[in-house]
């Protein structure tokens, strides 16, 4: 179903790699851009692991997927050259407003006037991101969930200037991936992380206060409430550094002490215990290559 148009994915971390894989597996031509060459190397390795996962978990949708074909539709690059055919951008860089400003200022200069900018952010205001672009009506939040190819729901966030056409184009792209959009309004944390970050942070406080061990906390949620994953394992999957940055954004945005990060969470991030990507967080995942 390739149309000749391209989707630019900015940021080749786990989320960016998964998204590029998903887009290519559904026939899109993709550019995966990162400032670090080693991130692109890790992204290529991740895609091989991801193919095995999706074939195991959802063979009905990915049964015909071949790694060589998927990789052939992805251009891995550290530069912003060759963006003239990009009709959609999905940005996945760190939750740092200064970094995002730099990225969108550059993209706004290089991309076509009709390019849509999907902001895959946990908490940053879509209206603020729009202010960095020549066309703020082209900015829209697209909060994807891990692992991207296996999650069908996407939280789509409408900024103050986001146009109806932009919403329609975002929904059409998601539809081409077999995903459904839940459209919400712009507010720090939106729906997902305004609630989820509080839950993970409070679970960390329970461990910090020595009320229960991490495994006990998560068992109550998985066995007691039938959640597929407990809050602390979820935090490890997302990345505890991302959790901490999101909480700081929420705290600064609302000035509400309920979003104050747990001291244990801060200490773990300072120690490099970031969750799955570092090999250890609230739980031990073994050595990470």
Rounded to 10 degrees, the C-alpha dihedral 105/106/112/115 comes to: -60
Residue 92 known to be catalytic? no
pLDDT digits (tens, 9 = 90+) for 76-85: 999 999 998 9
Q: Which residue out of 24, 120, 193, 278 is catalytically annotated?
A: 193
Percent of the chain having pLDDT more than 90? Answer: 85
pTM of the model: 0.88
Residue 122 known to be catalytic? yes
pLDDT band at 266 (very low <50, low <70, confident <90, very high): very high
For the residues 36-47, what does the mean pLDDT come to?
96
pLDDT band at 285 (very low <50, low <70, confident <90, very high): very high
pLDDT band at 2 (very low <50, low <70, confident <90, very high): very low
Buried b (16+ CB within 10 A) or exposed e, 85-99: ebbbbbbbbebeeee
> What's the distance, Cα to Cα, between the start and end of the chain in Å?
36
Q: Which residue out of 131, 155, 161, 163 is catalytically annotated?
A: 155
Pick from 285, 272, 275, 287: which is nearest to 231 by CA? 275
Q: Give alpha helix (H) positions in 126-275.
A: 126-130, 164-176, 192-208, 214-219, 231-238, 240-254, 263-270
User: Cβ distance 3 to 27 under 8 Å?
Assistant: no
Contacts of 175 (CB under 8 A, 6+ apart): none
Question: How many C-beta neighbours within 10 Å does residue 264 have?
Answer: 17
Alpha carbon distance 1, 27 (integer Å) = 5
pLDDT digits (tens, 9 = 90+) for 150-207: 999 999 999 999 999 999 999 999 999 999 999 999 998 999 999 999 999 999 999 9
Measured CA angle at 155 (ends 266, 232), to 5 deg: 30
In DSSP terms, 156 is beta-bridged to: 142, 183
**Average per-residue pLDDT for the chain:** 94
Residue 146 known to be catalytic? no
Pick from 176, 178, 181: which is nearest to 2 by CA? 176
For the residues 63-75, what does the mean pLDDT come to?
92
Tokens of 49: 């692991």
pLDDT band at 289 (very low <50, low <70, confident <90, very high): low
For the residues 196-224, what does the mean pLDDT come to?
98
Q: Which residue out of 122, 201, 246, 278 is catalytically annotated?
A: 122
User: Cβ distance 209 to 182 under 8 Å?
Assistant: no
Place of tokens 């879509």: 126
pLDDT band at 96 (very low <50, low <70, confident <90, very high): confident
User: Is it the case that residue 254 has pLDDT exceeding 60?
Assistant: yes
Residue 223 known to be catalytic? no
Place of tokens 């104050």: 260
For the residues 22-47, what does the mean pLDDT come to?
96
Backbone phi and psi for residue 120, each to the nearest 5 degrees, phi listed first = -90, 85
For the residues 131-147, what does the mean pLDDT come to?
95
């Amino acid at each position: 179903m390739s149309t000749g148009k391209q989707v630019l994915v900015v940021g080749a971390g786990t989320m960016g790699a998964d998204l590029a894989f998903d887009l290519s597996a559904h026939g899109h031509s993709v550019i995966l851009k990162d400032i670090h060459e080693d991130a692109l190397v890790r992204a290529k390795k991740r895609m091989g692991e991801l193919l095995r996962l999706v074939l195991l978990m959802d063979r009905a949708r990915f049964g015909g997927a071949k790694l060589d074909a998927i990789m052939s539709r992805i251009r891995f690059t550290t530069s912003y050259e060759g963006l003239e055919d990009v009709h959609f951008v999905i940005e996945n860089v760190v939750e740092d407003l200064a970094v995002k400003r730099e990225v969108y200022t550059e993209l706004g200069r290089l991309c076509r006037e009709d390019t849509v900018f999907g902001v895959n952010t946990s908490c940053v205001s879509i209206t603020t991101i729009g202010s960095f672009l020549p066309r703020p009506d082209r900015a829209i939040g697209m909060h994807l969930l891990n692992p991207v190819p296996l999650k069908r729901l996407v939280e789509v966030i409408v900024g103050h200037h986001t146009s109806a056409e932009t919403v329609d184009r975002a929904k059409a792209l998601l539809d081409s991936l077999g995903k459904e959009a839940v459209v919400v309004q712009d507010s720090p944390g939106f729906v997902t992380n305004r609630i989820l970050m509080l839950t993970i942070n409070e679970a960390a406080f329970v461990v910090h206060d020595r009320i229960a061990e991490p495994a006990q906390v998560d068992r109550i949620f998985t066995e007691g409430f039938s959640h597929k994953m407990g809050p602390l394992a979820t935090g490890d999957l997302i990345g505890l550094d991302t959790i901490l940055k999101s909480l700081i954004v929420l705290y600064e945005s609302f000035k509400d002490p309920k979003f104050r990060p747990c001291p244990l969470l801060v200490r773990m991030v300072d120690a490099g215990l970031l969750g799955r990507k570092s090999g250890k967080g609230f739980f031990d995942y073994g050595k990470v290559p």
